[in-house]
Amino acid sequence: MANIFSSYDDEIDLLSLIQIIWNGKWKIASIIALSLISVFSFNIVKPDTDRNFTATTEIKPITSSDLDKYSLFNSSLKKIVRKDIFNIEVRKDIFNIEDSIFEITKESLLNSYIEQIEKGTLLATGVKKFNLINKDTFKTEIDYREAIERFVSNIQILKPINKDRKTNGETRLHYVLIGEYNDKDKWKQLLSFVKNEANKSVKNTIISRFETIVSVQQQKKNFDFEDLEVKIDNIKEDYERSIRNRIAFLTEQAAIARKLKIENNTNPSQNLATQYTFNKNLKNIYMIDNPFYLRGYLAIEEEIKQINARKDKYAFIDDLYELEKQKRKLKQDKTIQRAVKLFNETPLNQTDFKATIVKVATTDFVEKNKKNLNLYYALAMVFGGIIGVFYVLIANAFENRKINKVSS
């Protein structure tokens, strides 16, 4: 019997252990809390350079109120209707909006801005300027440049997601710039630099493009004006030549009539409009059946006199009036000048120009190792609990030993 009781004394009493742990539950909880606080404190005091962040910045189109500042300029680029120098009715585009040669819209500004960033030059310049990559850590300049290129290539610009297409349940109607780095301040400096420089590049690009279009359209207008002047000069010269030919013809016919002593028209009933054929090529200048001199030298010489006495000979030139109207209309056309004036009144000629809405301050920084941090908290709770249990059991064992010594 003594051996049996001795074996029971060596066994572990689980109920007693559970009771000991339960009695020391607040001590265990305190140790677990201390472990969590230690991990949390370390995460707080840890330098940002020891963390990797995924930075997300939204790039949105300008607002409708900002776009309204371009409305007068855009309206000045509408089509106009006029006749060209060949007197054919056509539709002429000063700036050809329908072909999207030039019109300022939310989309055009946004696309131009994104294009400037996607080139990578601005990002690479910003990386160098704010020392996002330490040059001293590279042996050669080539290695440093390659590192910058790799860094810039990892910066992504996500395009908008259409309303009818969703990715992970998300619908986006704007661009998003995403990159990874370990210093929030430097990253914001890079974003601010790229934002300002991209706006400047978009502004300069649009101004240069507009100036080119204005130059081309002005050149076209000058060419049209010159063509009209040439056509007017030619038609006047043709008139002078035709009048000289006419007078020469009439002089000859008057001389024949005098020779034949035909003073007046000998055939009043004949249709004088069909008595002769006169064309610019001087072929078949009069009909043989009805010679012109039969009208009589009095009428013929009077016609010569009236032709020579004309004060406004250009009034007798066909199509001259229409050509002069076209020339005057083209000369008085102020479409290009008005477009330039309205363009100069847009934000493109002001200091507050912006192609997009980019709020650097609202950039979202998410710690890349956040999942690992949650794991650290979980491990802190587990190890804190284990340490707490061991502490309670050991403390209880020492306390029992003291009691046994006192009782013995």
Residue-wise pLDDT tens digits, 189-199: 999 999 999 99
Neighbours of 4 (CB within 10 A): 7
pLDDT at 194: 95
Q: What percent of the chain has pLDDT above 90?
A: 46
Structure tokens of 219?
């050149």
Residue-wise pLDDT tens digits, 85-97: 333 333 344 444 4
Neighbours of 67 (CB within 10 A): 15
Query: Which is nearest to 114 in space by CA: 164, 74, 174?
Result: 174
Q: Tell me the C-alpha distance between 170 and 406, whole Å.
A: 72
pLDDT at 85: 35
More confident residue, 405 or 145: 145
What does each C-alpha distance from 400 to 7, 25, 231 come to in angstroms?
20, 18, 124
What DSSP line would sit under 56-83, residue for residue?
EEEEBPPPHHHHGGGHHHHHTT--EEEE
**What's the maximum distance between 2 C-alpha atoms anywhere in the chain?**
182
CB burial of 129-154 (b: ≥16 within 10 Å; e: otherwise) equals: ebebbeeeeeeeeeebeebbeebbee
pLDDT band at residue 42 under the 50/70/90 scheme: low
Is the pLDDT reported for residue 316 higher than 80? yes
Q: Which residues pair with 156 in a beta bridge?
A: 178
Residues 130-143 have a mean pLDDT of 91
Residue-wise pLDDT tens digits, 231-290: 999 999 999 999 999 999 999 999 999 999 999 987 654 444 444 444 444 444 444 457
Is the pLDDT reported for residue 46 higher than 60? no
Structure tokens of 180?
């990874």
Neighbours of 366 (CB within 10 A): 11
C-beta separation of 316 from 332 below 8 A: no
Residues 326-341 have a mean pLDDT of 90
What does each C-alpha distance from 94 to 68, 122, 145, 334, 385 come to in angstroms?
22, 34, 46, 11, 80
Is the pLDDT reported for residue 398 higher than 50? yes
Neighbours of 12 (CB within 10 A): 7
More confident residue, 170 or 6: 170
pLDDT at 267: 63
pLDDT at 369: 59
Query: Which is nearest to 318 in space by CA: 236, 247, 246, 249?
Result: 236
Residue 168's φ and ψ, nearest 5 degrees, are 55, 35
pLDDT at 332: 93
Structure tokens of 132?
């996002």
Of 69-78, 141-150, 162-171, 333-342, the range with the highest mean pLDDT is 141-150
pLDDT band at residue 12 under the 50/70/90 scheme: low
pLDDT at 394: 83
More confident residue, 151 or 43: 151
Query: Which residues, 6 or more positions from 137, have their beta carbon under 8 angstroms from its beta carbon?
Result: none
Residue-wise pLDDT tens digits, 282-314: 444 444 457 889 999 999 999 999 999 999 888
